[in-house]
Structure 1
Amino acid sequence: MATGTSEAEKIPETRAANEVTPHSDYFSANHEANIRSEGESVDYDSKSVNSVGSDQEAQQALEVVFNDDAIYRRKSSLVPSVAPRPENSRRKTQCFVHSLLEKHDGSPMKDASYEGLAQERKIDKDAEGQPEASHHSRLLTKKQISDMAFGIRELSKKLAQIRIKLHVHNVFILAKAHDETLLAHTRETTEWLLTKDGHYRVYVEHTLEHNKIFDAEGLLRKNPAFKRRLKFWTNKLCAEKPQTFDIVLALGGDGTVLYASWLFQRVVPPVLAFSLGSLGFLTKFDYELYPETLSRAFQEGITVSLRLRFEATVMRSQNNKNTTRDLVEELIGEESEDNHTHKPDGTHNILNEVVVDRGPNPTMSSIELFGDDEHFTTVQADGVCVSTPTGSTAYNLAAGGSLCHPDNPVILVTAICAHTLSFRPIILPDTIVLRAGVPYDARTSSWASFDGKERVELRPGDYVTISASRFPFPSVLPLDRRSKDWIDSISRTLQWNSRQRQKSFKEWST
């Protein structure tokens, strides 16, 4: 058996009785998008690892032949196995950004262990009669959620290394319709876009059609040709035809970006956010430079960062007046397969956090917390905050949770004013389906909110299911400082680890 002495070795071409051919990746373009790679792609199809089952050859399980044209990889990656590895089958998601890149890697698994078969069980209650149940992440199996989350992370890494050039025709402008300053900025940006290119169609909120500050009539009198290209969007248009828009321009603060996430509950166009608020974790661009920023983005292309979103569904108990029932038994016990105990009552895709709290009640909440098929704990506190990595700098931080880089594949769970000092914040993988429910014998109800909106009451027996969403949020990054953007944001907005530098010793000399 040929071996090497250096830490990095050339990938060997191996031959044995059973040969496993790895998958290959390719890029595809959609939505009239042209993708230009900034680095060289690497072909991994020249490797295969195999094993020989003979007892006499147990000491020499691999025959290694070095390929002079192969790339380099560490020796630890050359792990022999006693059987061919099962191939993966990953389902494509339906996000607009996902349509830019597609991945095909193998066929469905033919054999699976007991643990693997258990992962094919749906974690949450089935949604009988729900017309769009196939889009809900909570109804995926454990394996499907893992594949989906892995696919989104892999896609995000690829998108961070390439520049996407879009043929922009429809520009969506989002700003606070009641802020006088932002209305003036909206009018200024709209007029610049309409004047810049005769092919641009600009969509502004329908409430601005007769707004005196925006003065749509005055804009059309100035140039009647603008009439066919100045459009007005509604919430219904955003929900039903999100593919209409090529890019979203958010004028405001982080709240405006969250509002964009609320408007586009599924497919989200790339969001380019101009900083006009107070903090600005999510707003990456200076509004004063908007002509230069937009010209460069439309001509040279954009780089997109995919932000993980959560899908949260309110599940109502069918008989919450029976206090003898047990929520733990219904969710993970023998009654867990009974789909008639609960019914869905609204689903939300959120960018920051899901909060279950005591609401207007004067006493603390009692909340049962589940992860997949396990009962984690009973939370006795003012509430619990389940945050995305993006939302780690929001309510999660105020409640004492950890700062988390948005590229981390995690779910952050932080208690709000817990009734015990030992309830520390916990970080869980994003492949878990969490459920936070109000037990049947709870003294009071609780309240759930989603990115600070859609606040609903959770009565005894109700719960909220939280899982990684298959519709991430594409945020446009500055081309010049994309690699250090997050560190810059927490240093700028939180004064992270800002202190006077320690003075050096001055040696005494005679």
Structure 2
Amino acid sequence: ISSVPSIENLTLLPTKPSFREHRQSKHNRNSYSIDSIPRQTILKALQSRPPPASERRASVSMDAVVMKDDGPKTDSSNMPHSQRLAEALSELNLQSDDMSASKMAALASPCFFHKKFDQAVNLDKVLDEMEDDEFSHSRLMQTATSVREVSKQLQRRPIKMTIRNIMIVTKARDNELVLLTRQLAEWLLCTPRYGSDVGVNVYVDHKLRKSKRFDVPSLLAKDKRFENMLRFWTPDLCWESPEKFDLVLTLGGDGTVLFTSWLFQRIVPPILSFSLGSLGFMTNFEFAQYKESLSKIMGDAGMRVNLRMRFTCTVYRYQKHAPSDAPQHIEAEQFEVLNELVIDRGPSPYVSNLELYGDNHLLTVVQADGCIFSTPTGSTAYSLSAGGSLVHPDIPAILLTPICPHTLSFRPMLLNDSMLLRVAVPRNSRATAYCAFDGKGRVELRQGDHVTIAASQYPFPTVLSQPTEWFDSLSRTLRWNTRGAMQKAWDGDETTCANGDEQDTGFDIDIDDDMDRDSGYSAEGSSAGGRDSPIRKGVVLPFL
């Protein structure tokens, strides 16, 4: 936010920096752009001062942001940053008579999943009813149930959309995958779609532009129109224009999917992952059937999408010599995490000493080698190896799993996804701590620094192959509840002899004289109260 507390600073966003410039700007301590303020802070500040009901009932289009700034601007260049932010947020809600939601267009996610939810649920009406003093408990339960049901239906209902631009993410260092990428790109370009005699636009990694295995010249020679249809993506393009892509295909394993999540730090297009890696918890489509799968999704059947939860992790640096009127902590790095945030002691010989806060309330002090904050998607990764539980991706929760805790009573737990967590290194701590965000961007937390973990407003949508794909992936990758051989039944199946005759499967022993029949090794009787049981006979067996 600039020194002028005006709504213009929040609604008229500056030109987006490139992906590299954005990463570098996170290290600039004097950066006060809209990206330097955590979205969780902005949204909570907006919710703390709701507009009047008359404003919320106003029918204002979200496509345009109305600007009104008739009053004189006050000179607040010497005003503290926190006060400037508070005044700017106050103007965002109270400056004009228009509905404040229209001014939040710059903050609202353009993800079409969010838009569908907004259209299905009249949130303004729900909020108006909740503000009423006569809002009953039964009405509250009905509203909560309705919201959950709408959320379920949105994920169960197939989404039919015209797919014009497809992005392919490939592990470029794997030569076999480069050849498969060429095969897939050629099929997408050549297969007629949507009334045209050619296919759709295809974006491939810019690293393949000069690849001999991908062979761009021979592909373009097949049709002159392919010169405009075959394009190349870069991390900057994913950062600046994620809405360009209607569908993203990944060729690889779970690491390729995590890399895709790292590319899209904001809006994420639907992700369809082909299993071409080592494990594959999130890659549930077979590449051998890619023609059938893509034709089905791009046809009348549509696709079902699972919105996987992500974390917004923000690192704050402690300013030891900051002026009294300046904030003591300045935001540094920010990451969108799909699997987990790992905080460990690094090379220090001392046990890490971390303060854990939930909604600004001290929950506990973690004394361990570290701790893992995992999403439900990441529950099958590092958290599982550290003793955490398996959690279905549809469950909105934050998994807290300690790494070798000092106290044995510190067990893994699931926290509410609406809770804002903060992990701080005390100023008097003997050692520092290190953070890893999905295995990338390892950052050191020095004394006084802290990191916040909150549920992201940008989920990671993955295309479902079938309703039970999560359980199938557990059985396929972890051998979940799988044993080598099943226990045989007493009445076996009919078998065939060598001469072709059916073999008799009945018992050929003398069952009546079988004294062990009640011990579980015969076809009849009960081990506790059978006819020949010592309990029924009143016989006491001597101890041998």
Question: CA–CA distance in 2 between the matches of 1:475 and 1:287?
Answer: 16
Q: When you count helix as a share of all residues, which structure comes out higher?
A: 2
The normalised TM-score by structure 1 is 0.68
Q: CA deviation at 1:321?
A: 11
Change (3 A) 1:155 1:440: farther
**Structure with greater Cα Rg:** 2
Q: When you count strand as a share of all residues, which structure comes out higher?
A: 1
Change (3 A) 1:320 1:429: farther
Match of 2:68 in 1: none
Match of 1:219 in 2: 219
The answer to whether the 8 A contact 1:96-1:268 is kept is no
The answer to whether the 8 A contact 2:188-2:199 is kept is no
The answer to whether the 8 A contact 1:254-1:280 is kept is yes
Question: CA–CA distance in 2 between the matches of 1:150 and 1:258?
Answer: 33
Equivalent position amino acid for 2:114 in 1 = H
Q: CA deviation at 1:244?
A: 0.4
Match of 2:298 in 1: 298
Change (3 A) 1:420 1:339: farther
Alignment of 1:394-473 (within 5 A): 394-473=381-460
Residue 202 of structure 1 pairs with residue 172 of structure 2: no
Q: CA deviation at 1:502?
A: 4.7
Q: CA deviation at 1:347?
A: 1.4
> C-alpha offsets along residues 285-321 of structure 1, whole Å, 9 cap, x if unaligned?
0011101111111002111111111111011111189
Which consecutive unaligned segments of at least 5 residues does structure 2 have?
1-62, 64-100, 133-143, 193-197, 490-519, 525-531, 533-544
Match of 2:19 in 1: none
Question: CA–CA distance in 2 between the matches of 1:105 and 1:423?
Answer: 39
Return the match for 1:174 from 157, 163, 169: 169
Match of 1:135 in 2: none
Change (3 A) 1:244 1:314: same
Residue 488 of structure 1 pairs with residue 472 of structure 2: yes
- Secondary structure of the equivalent of 1:224? coil
> C-alpha offsets along residues 60-116 of structure 1, whole Å, 9 cap, x if unaligned?
xxxxxxxxxxxxxxxxxxxxxxxxxxxxx9x96442422344232335459869xxx
Q: CA deviation at 1:223?
A: 3.1
Match of 2:50 in 1: none
**RMSD (Å), alpha carbons:** 2.9
Equivalent position amino acid for 1:290 in 2 = Y
Question: CA–CA distance in 1 between the matches of 2:254 and 2:122?
Answer: 36
Match of 1:319 in 2: 320
> C-alpha offsets along residues 440-484 of structure 1, whole Å, 9 cap, x if unaligned?
111121111111111111111111100111111111002xx31x2
Question: CA–CA distance in 1 between the matches of 2:232 and 2:333?
Answer: 27
Change (3 A) 1:508 1:287: closer
Return the match for 2:481 from 497, 500, 508: 497
Match of 1:506 in 2: 521
Residue 344 of structure 1 pairs with residue 339 of structure 2: no
The answer to whether the 8 A contact 1:97-1:269 is kept is no
Match of 1:164 in 2: 159
Residue 97 of structure 1 pairs with residue 120 of structure 2: no
Question: CA–CA distance in 2 between the matches of 1:277 and 1:320?
Answer: 49
Question: CA–CA distance in 2 between the matches of 1:408 and 1:100?
Answer: 20
Change (3 A) 1:259 1:111: closer
Question: CA–CA distance in 1 between the matches of 2:316 and 2:345?
Answer: 18
The answer to whether the 8 A contact 1:156-1:306 is kept is no
The share of aligned pairs that are identical, in percent, is 49
Change (3 A) 1:320 1:94: farther
Match of 1:26 in 2: none
Match of 1:371 in 2: 358
- Secondary structure of the equivalent of 2:332? strand
Question: CA–CA distance in 2 between the matches of 1:389 and 1:213?
Answer: 38
